Structures are given as structure tokens and as C-alpha cells.
Amino acid sequence: MDEPLGTLHRDPDGRRVLRYERHLAHPREKVWRAITDSGHLRARLPCDVVGERRAGARLTLPFWPEVVAAHGERIGEDTATTGEVRVWDPPAVFEWTWDVDVLRWELVPTAGGTLLTFTTWIGDPDLPPADPAAGWHDCLHRLAALLDGHPGGPTAEAEIARVEERYARLAAIP
């Protein structure tokens, strides 16, 4: 997972924000399917995204059974969370909430494929940003592998820990 690190900052409202850019050598429509279609989500997200794809639609986000089996102590008794589609503009923008977080996927066609910009606003003020930063870094790594035709299994915890350490070394966010 040697991709460039995302950036960590605060927005004008004081919310902590993670932002990543990835250049993907695939057409925007293929990337769009990979970030919106449930059939592709298992390869890169810990949960499914169930619900109508339109602005204002409610979502249910059930964790995959293998994620519950491996991380049940972190997930707790609720094996599903909720969200809402905020922006649905195929194949350019998909923005939705996941519990208290906001996730925004933006796709811009380029000469060599697609520029993916992923931004998430961390809703839990007590959550150390290195944890979600490493998780989303891994998600984007696995998305690229899926698009390249090399979907893999879960990333080793030691690999995630190394990426988390890289994010922890970034300048502290006040």
C-alpha cells in the first residue's frame, strides 16, 4: 500500500477532513460501477450499501458476515448502521452519510482514465484520525486492485498498522 497518503485538515466549520486523490487507468463508468454497485463493494468496504440510489434516499449499511466474525468486538452488537444519499450525480459524484461521517466520491475523466477524489468528514470528534485514514487508504488500495483485475482478500493487520503509523506521523490536527 505505497500509494500517496491522503491529507488531513479541518474545514471552516472545524470538522476534521480526510482527502485522497487517486489516478486510475480505467474509464469513469467502470470506476463508477466499482464505487456504487453492491457486487463490487465487498472487495473494498467492510459493509454493503443497501438502498435506492437517489438524493435523499435512506441507506442501510450492514457489515459483511466475515467482517463481523473478524472484528465483532469493535463493531459491537449493531451489525448495521444507517446513512443517507446526499448527492447522486452519475457518473460524477456519489455523496452519502455513514452514521456520523460524510463520504464524497468524485470522478473526473482524464486522458489516461479517471481522477478519483475521495473526501470524508469524520463525525466522531474523539476518534483519532489515523484510524479512519489508514482504513480509507486501504479501501482505495483495494479499489485500484479490483479495477486492475486483482481483487484480494482482507489486508493484513500488520500492513494496516504500518499505514496507520504513517498517518499518525502527519502533523497533528488541532
pLDDT, tens digit, 9 for 90 and up, residues 116-141? 999 999 998 888 888 889 889 999 99
Question: Is-above-0.85 flag for pTM?
Answer: yes
What's the pLDDT at 35? 95
pLDDT of residue 73: 65
- Residue 36's pLDDT is 94
* Residues of the chain above pLDDT 90, percent: 54
pLDDT at 77: 66
Enumerate domains of the chain plus CATH numbers.
7-39+89-168 (3.30.530.20)
Could you give the CA distance from residue 71 to residue 87 in angstroms, rounded to a whole number? 30
Tell whether the model's pLDDT for residue 68 goes beyond 80.
Answer: no
- Model confidence band, residue 172 (pLDDT cutoffs 50, 70, 90): low
What pLDDT does residue 32 have?
97
Q: Which three cell numbers stand for residue 123?
A: 463525525
Over residues 34-59, mean pLDDT: 92
Note whether 119 and 136 are within 8 A (CB). Answer: no
